[in-house]
Amino acid sequence: MDRWADLSTYACRTCRFFVPKTEHLGRCRRHAPTLEGWPVVYPDDWCGDHKLGGNPSRHDG
């Protein structure tokens, strides 16, 4: 099974490290922030560090 066969499954919006900020932008919290903060990413971006699942740092409410 090729886990990269459907890249839409591995977009930032489905990653546990993605935190949405606006409808079109979010922050990647995979690694510690730099002096400039967390990296800005688009929901449709992707990388090799992708992890499926809910982000444990997100809180509803």
Tens digit of each residue's pLDDT (9 = 90 or more) over 11-25: 898 889 999 999 999
In whole angstroms, give the CA distance from residue 56 to residue 24: 21
Residue 26 CA, distance from chain mean position:
8
Grouping H, G, I as helix, E, B as strand and the rest as coil, residue 16 is coil
Query: How far is it, in rounded angstroms, from Cα 35 to Cα 48?
Result: 23
Correct CATH for 1-55 of 2.20.70.100, 2.40.37.10, 3.90.650.10, 2.160.10.10:
2.20.70.100
Nearest to 22 by CA among 40, 47, 49, 45: 40
Return the DSSP state at 34. B
CB contact at 8 A, 30 and 17: yes
| Confidence bin at 50 (pLDDT 50/70/90) | confident
Write down the pTM of the prediction: 0.72
Q: Domain spans of the chain?
A: 1-55
